[in-house]
């Protein structure tokens, strides 16, 4: 593991020292994305304080997701901060399947990623297609009421993530009057740690986005 992080550091340092040829070596990036989150199913349960021995069950089902990112990178990689939300709120039902409305809100996730372009040493600077890999840590914010007494409680659950994809240039990198843009195809897997009564769960997110380099 130490050797892996040392290798990453050397690559990023080389990226900061490479000749620019008119293009800044380190650049800011921003972007937005849309995608699909398959959902995690049941993510927690707790006894209903007003309903005898029944339990209330929280579910996170699949839906359309949206996201944004901001980062700082060289041709070999960099760092990025991502935020992801979904249009579907957490659903709360009892064991008979009766839904309890207004017991959950839409979750929001954030991730700080290490971004790598593993083929950068083999590619031309003007290459339009750039495969990438990511690894990061972050968190998920969930607001849910599982006891039917205290209203909703806001939970924060930490997670780690691994991902990858392609960035495809859609405008020239070497024209000073242009702001370079790129199309991004990405898939990421998240492992969310528990925060009782919310259980740990796994998520997969597939997104397509548009980004800019400055």
How high is the pLDDT of residue 42? 95
How high is the pLDDT of residue 179? 75
How high is the pLDDT of residue 124? 81
Nearest one of 195, 115, 109, 194 to 162, comparing CA atoms: 115
How high is the pLDDT of residue 182? 95
Domains and CATH numbers, the chain: 2-17+26-213 (2.40.160.20)
Tens-digit pLDDT profile for the chain (214 aa)?
A: 445 444 544 444 444 444 444 456 899 999 999 999 998 999 999 999 887 788 999 999 999 999 999 999 999 999 999 999 999 999 999 998 899 999 999 999 999 999 999 999 888 877 789 999 999 999 999 999 999 888 899 999 999 999 999 999 998 766 665 678 999 999 999 999 999 999 999 999 999 999 999 8
How high is the pLDDT of residue 150? 82
Structure tokens at 148: 């039917």
How high is the pLDDT of residue 173? 65
State the pTM of this model: 0.82
């Amino acid at each position: 593991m130490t050797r892996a992080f040392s290798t990453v550091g050397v690559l990023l340092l080389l990226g900061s020292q490479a000749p620019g040829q008119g293009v800044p070596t380190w650049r800011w990036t921003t972007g937005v994305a849309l995608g699909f989150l398959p959902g995690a199913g049941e993510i927690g349960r707790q006894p209903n304080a007003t309903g005898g021995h029944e339990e209330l069950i929280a579910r996170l089902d699949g839906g359309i997701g949206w996201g944004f990112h901001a980062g700082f990178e060289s041709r070999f990689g960099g760092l990025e901060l991502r935020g992801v939300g979904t249009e579907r709120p957490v659903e709360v039902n009892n064991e008979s399947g009766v839904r309890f409305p207004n017991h959950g809100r839409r979750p929001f996730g954030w991730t700080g990623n290490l971004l790598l372009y593993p083929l950068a040493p083999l590619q031309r600077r003007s290459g339009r297609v750039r495969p990438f890999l990511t690894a990061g840590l972050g968190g998920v914010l969930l607001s849910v009421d599982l006891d039917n007494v205290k209203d909703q409680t806001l939970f924060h659950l930490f997670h780690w993530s691994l991902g990858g994809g392609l960035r495809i240039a859609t405008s020239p990198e070497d024209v000073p009057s242009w702001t370079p843009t790129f199309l991004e195809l990405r898939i990421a897997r998240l492992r969310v740690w528990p925060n009782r009564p919310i259980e740990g769960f796994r998520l997969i997110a597939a997104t397509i986005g548009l980004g800019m380099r400055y």
